[in-house]
Amino acid sequence: MVLGVRCMDRCAMYSCRTGAGKGNSEVTVPNSSVSVVIVTYFTGPSFWKCLDSCLNSEVGQIIIVNNGNRPEKLIKMRAKTKQDPRVNLLDGHGNVGFSRGCNLGASQASGDILMFLNPDAVLHPDAIGHLLTALEAQSSPCVIGGRLLNEDGTEQRGARRGKLTPWSALVAMSGLAWFEKFSPMFEDMHWEKRPLPDGPQSVPAVSGACMMFRKSDFIEIGRFDERYFLHVEDLDICRRTIRAGGKAIFVPTAEITHFGSTSRANIFVVNWTKATGLVRYFYRFSGSFIERMIAVLLSPVIVAAIMIRTIALAFRR
């Protein structure tokens, strides 16, 4: 059930400065039109920082989707719905996976704009303003993502990515990207080491840790594909957006600190769902017989590489 009252004051406005383009210009964007969806599963303490950053950003609605949390955390979440009418708790459905959890949250959204935010991601001041400004500048459909930062302020992997193919995945996971300096065939699909663009940039994919849509675009694209239980659903929806004639836009001025891996999920389950999600993605977007054969040949290698790395990481712990 949903706890809390939806609050959507469409007259509330939020003023911010954006660095997009040359020089700064003042723009006014309605933060109150944003519904933030946060899917939680045995989430760590950084969730409360995430929630506070949303409340401080003056969004119109925050939907917490409970896929599973300890009773004491649920009590505190329910208390938040009574303290602030913008906070809603969607509960009672069990662990349905990230994609379905996002879709459930989106179905309860009253805002015209949807933002999906990881429970361990903390918005910096003006982050939502910059995302909204970039969104308003794009025609439909589009998906907008921010710049993810590590705790030390360095850019995190995954916020801006090249096109995912079986080969680019193998290059990224095997270390072959080191040879990019010698040949473009070894180009790293992760772009966090590249110079920051001066303003919003069209990219093949942004991160699901912080992702913004017009609600109408999200529905028209077909929402998140619920066959992805965890991981790869963000790459999939970016690819579908671009296939529909739209764009995925990376906004360098919209900064979010992403703590990462704070939930108590089993590492083997997490990485297995990631591996099988990649296989599903490769098959889905294989456009020709040759591409499908490459996917058939490389998918087992990629799955094996992910699980071997998982076992090695488990032993190190």
pLDDT tens column, 120-145: 999 999 999 999 999 999 999 999 99
Q: What is the pLDDT of residues 47-66, one digit of tens each?
A: 999 999 999 998 999 999 99
Report the C-alpha gap between 305 and 9 in whole angstroms: 50
Report the C-alpha gap between 282 and 298 in whole angstroms: 10
- pLDDT of residue 15 exceeding 80: no
Strand partners for 250:
145, 201
Task: For the chain, give the mean pLDDT.
Answer: 88
- Which of 111, 108, 91 has the alpha carbon at shortest distance from 10? 111
Report the C-alpha gap between 120 and 48 in whole angstroms: 9
Q: Whole-model pTM?
A: 0.86
H/E run at residue 199:
none
Average pLDDT value for residue range 270-285: 90
Tokens at 197, concatenated: 């663009």
Report the C-alpha gap between 100 and 139 in whole angstroms: 26
Q: What is the pLDDT of residues 110-126, one digit of tens each?
A: 999 999 999 999 999 99
Of the CA atoms within 13 Å of residue 179, those in its CB half-sphere come to 9
How many other C-beta atoms lie within 10 A of the C-beta of residue 37? 25
Report the C-alpha gap between 219 and 74 in whole angstroms: 29
Report the C-alpha gap between 81 and 4 in whole angstroms: 5
* Coil/strand/helix, residue 249: strand
Name residue, tokens 């409360």. 48
